Amino acid sequence: MFERAISRRRFAGALAALPALAAVAAFMRPGTAQAAALPATLRILCTGPAGSIPDIVARRYAERLTGRIADQVIVDNRVGAAGQLAVAALRQASADGTTMLLAQGAVATVYPFLYAKLAYDAAVDLKPVSLAAEATMGLAVGPAVPVSVTTLGEFVAWGRLNPSLANFASPGTGTLPHLLGAAFFREAGVAWQHVPYPGGPPALLDLMGGRIAALVLPEGLLRPHLAAGRLRVLATSAAARSAYLPQVPTFVEQGWPSLVMQEWFAFFMPGATPAASLEAASLAVQLAAADTGVKSTFADAGMVAAASTPLALAGRITAEQAYWQGVVRATGIRAAS
């Protein structure tokens, strides 16, 4: 949950205790001499390609943090291995408060159970900073699926009759869209081939081009193409219908009560980052998340701005690890590396 009660005094106090980022307090006092002492650059490593949901989140926060937490904030897209390349870059970064990772929650909650060999230890190498955004997912179909298919039940029936065409895509193995799709088809009792992509945009192109049957993505990426008639959204993953797609029923409404899932994204820092640095960065993110421009951008993309303390994010990760361990075991999904 986003913590609204953030005082400027608390923010400045946390920064005063922070050697590497003490000058960030100047953002509370624009125009002072302290502004010159800001770190030159803060780098945000991003797990998604340009135009993806993680990229949108990272770049909007970068805009709001520029001149506040560093003279410039840059986004460094490290795409591949479902986010593991970005995590690897974070592990190699200095723990001086000048590098953050913007990643899907799965890097901390799912991957430890999904991958037989993981190149990082989530509990050691990823220090939680703050939530960043949350998004509802949608299951969409393209021209490969007849327009007569308008419900999940009809979609499953079509797949049974056309097994060679029965596939679904996601923005990567082990991502929440992948797990949602796998859980849906498992509960439906049908075997569908999973087609992983390096992010959402290339998967969307293939869906609309008729090269894949279905795709699970955050609804914000699907909505513009739905309005243009290039795809159809059969279901969304929230407990209630989306305010952005009120005409689309949920998985719950169509007989899948267990499929209530939210994709979320968060900021992390290297494992050796001091607690004071984590707190200072978290407070900066929380203030940015409260910005009306950030909220508007995220709403346009079908997301909600979200922020938290490092402790609250760590608690969420621990709770969700137990859940996702069960999901991975039940679906039988495993990845080699």
Write down the pTM of the prediction. Answer: 0.77
pLDDT of 9 strictly over 80: no
> What secondary structure letter does DSSP report for 174?
T
pLDDT of 191 strictly over 80: yes
Tell which residue, 293, 296, 289, 136, has the closest CA to residue 218. 136
Q: What is the mean pLDDT of the chain?
A: 88
pLDDT of 1 strictly over 60: no
Average pLDDT over every residue of 106-120: 91
Sequence ranges of the domains in the chain: 8-135+262-331, 136-236
Q: In the structure encoding, which two tokens stand for residue 41, read together? A: 């650059």
Burial class (CB in 10 A: 0-12, 13-18, 19+), 292: exposed
Q: How far is CA 162 from CA 141, 165, 204, 224, in A?
A: 14, 6, 21, 28
Let me know if the fold of 8-135+262-331 is the same as that of 136-236.
yes
pLDDT of 26 strictly over 80: no
User: Given this model, what pLDDT does residue 337 score?
Assistant: 64
CA angle 130, 46, 274 (to 5 degrees): 45
Which class would CATH give 136-236? alpha beta
pLDDT of 202 strictly over 90: yes
Distance CA 35, CA 244 (A): 40
User: Given this model, what pLDDT does residue 333 score?
Assistant: 81
CATH tag for 8-135+262-331 (out of 2.60.120.260, 3.40.190.150, 3.10.129.10, 1.10.3470.10):
3.40.190.150
Tell which residue, 171, 116, 114, 100, has the closest CA to residue 313. 100
pLDDT of 221 strictly over 90: no
Q: In the structure encoding, which two tokens stand for residue 204, read together? A: 């969307």
Residues 32-71: pLDDT tens digits? 444 447 889 999 999 998 988 899 999 999 999 999 899 9
Q: How far is CA 111 from CA 83, 116, 126, 310, 335, in A?
A: 10, 9, 13, 20, 9
User: Given this model, what pLDDT does residue 17 score?
Assistant: 42
